[in-house]
């Protein structure tokens, strides 16, 4: 599906991952698609950026809409971004590597 957006597939992928907060969109499928379209390194960076952006968006939404209720559960922004980066980027790279391997075997 992302290939139909050609030069804008990366932006649609990021938007889909951000939309995962309210829609049931599997992030791993979007990350794998980015890996197939953009190859492992660039796809990994885009997938990591998408996860990071989606996480920050969720963090911001929670702080604004239900601040008092979730304040005791939410990490400070520095800890949150560090955790988001160290968790999201390696996960994106792992799924991209798997999608690249799957892409090679399906072309053979």
Q: What is the DSSP string of 4-22?
A: GGGGGHHHHHHHHHHHTTT
Q: What is the pLDDT of residue 81?
A: 81
Q: What is the pLDDT of residue 38?
A: 82
- Is the torsion defined by CA of 30, 34, 36, 42 positive or negative? negative
Entry field: residues in the chain: 108
Q: What is the pLDDT of residue 17?
A: 85
Q: What is the pLDDT of residue 88?
A: 79
Over range 104-108, report the average pLDDT.
60
pLDDT greater than 80 at residue 101: no
Tell which residue, 82, 84, 79, 24, has the closest CA to residue 50: 84
pLDDT greater than 60 at residue 108: no
Q: What is the pLDDT of residue 71?
A: 63
Each residue's pLDDT tens digit, 54-95: 888 888 877 775 666 666 666 777 887 888 888 877 887 887
Each residue's pLDDT tens digit, 19-53: 887 787 888 888 888 888 887 778 878 888 888 88
Q: How far apart are CA 17 and CA 12, in angstroms?
A: 9
Q: How far apart are CA 71 and CA 85, in angstroms?
A: 21
């Amino acid at each position: 599906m992302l290939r139909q957006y050609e030069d804008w597939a990366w932006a649609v992928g990021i938007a889909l991952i951000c939309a995962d907060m309210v829609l049931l969109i599997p992030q791993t499928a979007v990350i794998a698609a980015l890996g197939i379209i953009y190859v492992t390194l660039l796809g990994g960076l885009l997938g990591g950026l998408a996860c990071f952006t989606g996480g920050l968006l969720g963090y911001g939404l929670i702080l604004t809409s239900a601040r008092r209720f979730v304040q005791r559960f939410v990490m400070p922004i520095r800890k949150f971004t560090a955790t988001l980066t160290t968790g999201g980027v390696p996960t994106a790279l792992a799924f991209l590597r798997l999608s690249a391997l799957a892409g090679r075997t399906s072309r053979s």
